[in-house]
Amino acid sequence: MALDFEFRKQVMDYHIGSDLIKYCYQCSRCADNCPITAVTTDFYTTTGYNPRSNILNALLGYKDAIFNADPLTIWGCTVCDTCDEVCPQNIELTEIFTFLKNQSIAAGNGPDFVYAQAEAIFESAKAIPSQPAIERRREQLGLPPVAAPDVSEFQTLLKNIGTQRKLK
Amino acid sequence: MRGMIKKMTEFKMFEGCTIGNRIPFIEAASRRVFDKVGIETSQTNFSCCPDPTGMKSFDNDAWLVIGARNLCLAEAEGKNIISLCNGCTNTLRGVQYQLKHDSWKMDKVNKELAKIGKEYKGTIDIKHFVDVLSDNLDKVKGAITKPLDGLKVAVHPGCHYMRPAEWMESDDPMRPTTLKKLVEASGASVVDYGEEILCCGSAVTNAYEEHGFANLKIKMDAIKKSGADVIAVNCPACYQQFDTRQKDLGKKYETEYDTPVMYITELYALAMGFTPDDIGLKFHRVRLKSTLEKLGL
């Protein structure tokens, strides 16, 4: 398995407290407390979603073990931030996993729903666009209309940083 | 004494995409409760926060600039934000935190915002509505005219209300208590079920339904065993996960799951004398008939 030093550097740079990740001693508290590890792995946690091995592989630069594996390796994370709280070394695991997901998306390998949501947000500046039926319901409930966002300004912002190019 | 009556400052309302454009009855209950408690709000044309599980996973830079742009809109009016949603609060507080602690990100974001004539300064704060209600608990108690005596409630504060603790700064991230206190203030009683901090699984269910359902089963089995009449929540993603997916969960595992799900502000609205019709309770998927009967409504 090849080491990718550039990837390793990116992982290190991503962490706000950048040297913390180096002090992971693989205690497995993250995996022991992960709700998705609990429902996807066997007793020895050799299969399924495992935050501990993701941190190890990211730290060592084993890019292939992360990106050329079952997408569950990255996308099994449900973003509950429990691992961040239980880590004895205060490693911001979820931030590292965000970086891995961003890389997976840029390579076109993310789950369909993530692309679909990003598309909806790009098109309407809302994850869930306004619909006539709901607008009527708001009125019936005595609610003011939702203030419409400036979609054009919003799209300019996203085009400038290259987000649009990552859409499918 | 006049000097002791502190006028509450007005917040910018951040109802979020899900509540505003899909389940507005939750906004209706929340606004009615805010009126009773004296929490003043006004609107601004915010965009999607954006979602801390979806859009952040898609592109963290986009998450930062969109979030910062929303913060600029509130900054322009010099008002703090009150959010009705865990995800929106988590994003806006997270963006604020990352930009405060990472000058490289701050420079990058402001370079982009300058192109649309904006600058993020970091001058306003973002509050989850649960914390605002908690800060005004005396006023909440004062507005309750029909206490929910006898109602047994299982609380689910939801991950993003309290984690990561560094940027949420709200409750104990692993042993949360605020939502329990709010429920107790309504006259209802809290039942412990042992899985209070377990994630609802909303994010993973979108990509891997079977794993999301396996997780949801653990949560729902514990709630069912506790004998709770209702699940109290303060997040629209958690609300939808419980309200819309219990039926499918029951089909998959051949077990009946039918515990009603209510926003804490819906419970409060009933306790403050509003009728189920005032706040659109008929729009819930899991029927509230048994709960309302128990409350004599």
Provide the number of structural domains found in chain A: 2
Q: Residue B19: is it exposed, middle or buried by C-beta count within 10 angstroms (0-12/13-18/19+)?
A: buried
**Confidence (pLDDT) at A45:** 66
A88 touches chain B (CB under 8 A): no
Q: Are residues A19 and A69 in the same domain?
A: yes
Residues of A in contact with B89 (CB under 8 A): none
Q: Are residues A9 and A57 in the same domain?
A: yes
Instruction: Name the amino acid, one letter, at B206.
Output: N
Q: Are residues B183 and B90 in the same domain?
A: no
The residue out of B69, B99, B128 marking a domain boundary is B128
To probe the interface with A, which of B112, B162, B204 has the most A CB atoms within 10 Å?
A: B204
Q: How confident is the model at residue A43 (pLDDT cuts 50, 70, 90)?
A: confident
The answer to whether the CB atoms of B69 and A157 lie below 8 A apart is yes
The residue out of B100, B128, B156 marking a domain boundary is B128
The residue out of A106, A122, A154 marking a domain boundary is A106
Q: Are residues A68 and A54 in the same domain?
A: yes
In a domain, B251, yes or no: yes
Nearest to A166 by CA among B105, B55, B52, B87: B55
Q: Which SS3 state, helix, strand or coil, does residue B252 take?
A: helix
Q: Are residues A123 and A41 in the same domain?
A: no
Residue A131 structural domain: 112-166
In a domain, B3, yes or no: no
The DSSP call for residue B286 is: S
Diameter of chain B by CA atoms? 62
Q: Are residues A48 and A80 in the same domain?
A: yes
Q: Nearest Cβ partner of B47 from A141, A154, A163?
A: A154
In the block, which residue shows the tokens 């409750």? Answer: B171
Residue B261 structural domain: 147-294
Q: Residue B105: give its domain's CATH number.
A: 1.20.1050.140
Query: What is the rounded CA–CA span in Å between residue B139 and residue B130?
Result: 14
Q: Are residues B46 and B179 in the same domain?
A: no
Q: Are residues A88 and A102 in the same domain?
A: yes
Asked if residue A47 has pLDDT above 80, the reply is yes
The residue out of A82, A106, A130 marking a domain boundary is A106
Residues of A in contact with B194 (CB under 8 A): none
Q: Which SS3 state, helix, strand or coil, does residue B263 take?
A: strand
A46 touches chain B (CB under 8 A): no
Q: ipTM score here? A: 0.96
The whole-angstrom distance between B141's CA and the closest CA on chain A is 25
**Confidence (pLDDT) at B1:** 40
Query: Quick check: B44 and B83 in contact, CB under 8 A?
Result: no
Q: Are residues B123 and B159 in the same domain?
A: no
The residue out of B128, B156, B175 marking a domain boundary is B128
Q: Are residues A91 and A152 in the same domain?
A: no
Nearest to B113 by CA among B95, B90, B91, B93: B95
Q: Residue B171: give its domain's CATH number.
A: 3.40.50.11810
Backbone angles phi, psi at B187, to 5 degrees: 95, -15
Q: Are residues A61 and A11 in the same domain?
A: yes
The answer to whether the CB atoms of A75 and B218 lie below 8 A apart is no
Q: Are residues B121 and B173 in the same domain?
A: no
Q: Are residues B113 and B197 in the same domain?
A: no
Query: What is the rounded CA–CA span in Å between residue B179 and residue B177?
Result: 6
Residues of A in contact with B201 (CB under 8 A): 35, 78
Q: Are residues A17 and A68 in the same domain?
A: yes
Q: Residue A17: give its domain's CATH number.
A: 1.10.1060.10
Query: What is the rounded CA–CA span in Å between residue B267 and residue B277?
Result: 13
Q: Are residues B217 and B181 in the same domain?
A: yes
Query: Quick check: B80 and B42 in contact, CB under 8 A?
Result: no
For A127, B85, B144, B205, the CA distances from B185, given in Å and listed in that order, are 34, 21, 9, 33
**Confidence (pLDDT) at B8:** 55
Interface of B with A in 173-232 (CB under 8 A): 173-174, 197-199, 201-204, 206-208, 211-212, 214-215, 218
Q: Are residues A93 and A129 in the same domain?
A: no
The whole-angstrom distance between B7's CA and the closest CA on chain A is 24
B66 touches chain A (CB under 8 A): yes
Question: What is the tens place of the pLDDT at every residue in A119-167?
Answer: 999 999 999 999 999 999 999 999 999 999 999 999 999 999 999 999 9
In a domain, B63, yes or no: yes
**Confidence (pLDDT) at B4:** 44
Provide the number of structural domains found in chain B: 2
Q: Are residues B164 and B284 in the same domain?
A: yes
The DSSP call for residue A144 is: P
Q: Are residues B153 and B120 in the same domain?
A: no
Q: Are residues B198 and B165 in the same domain?
A: yes
Query: What number of C-beta contacts closer than 8 Å exist between A and B?
Result: 196
Task: Order the strands of the B81-83 sheet from edge to edge.
Answer: B41-42, B11-14, B81-83, B126-128
Q: Are residues B181 and B271 in the same domain?
A: yes
The answer to whether the CB atoms of A113 and B54 lie below 8 A apart is yes
**Confidence (pLDDT) at A19:** 78
Query: What is the rounded CA–CA span in Å between residue A101 and residue B205?
Result: 16
B159 touches chain A (CB under 8 A): yes
Asked if residue A46 has pLDDT above 80, the reply is no
The answer to whether the CB atoms of B58 and A142 lie below 8 A apart is no
| Segment-wise mean pLDDT, segments of 10 residues, chain B, 297 residues | 54 98 98 98 98 97 98 97 98 97 94 98 98 98 98 98 95 97 98 98 95 98 98 98 97 96 98 98 96 94
Question: What is the tens place of the pLDDT at every residue in A58-106?
Answer: 999 999 999 999 999 999 999 999 999 999 999 999 999 999 999 999 9
**Confidence (pLDDT) at B5:** 46
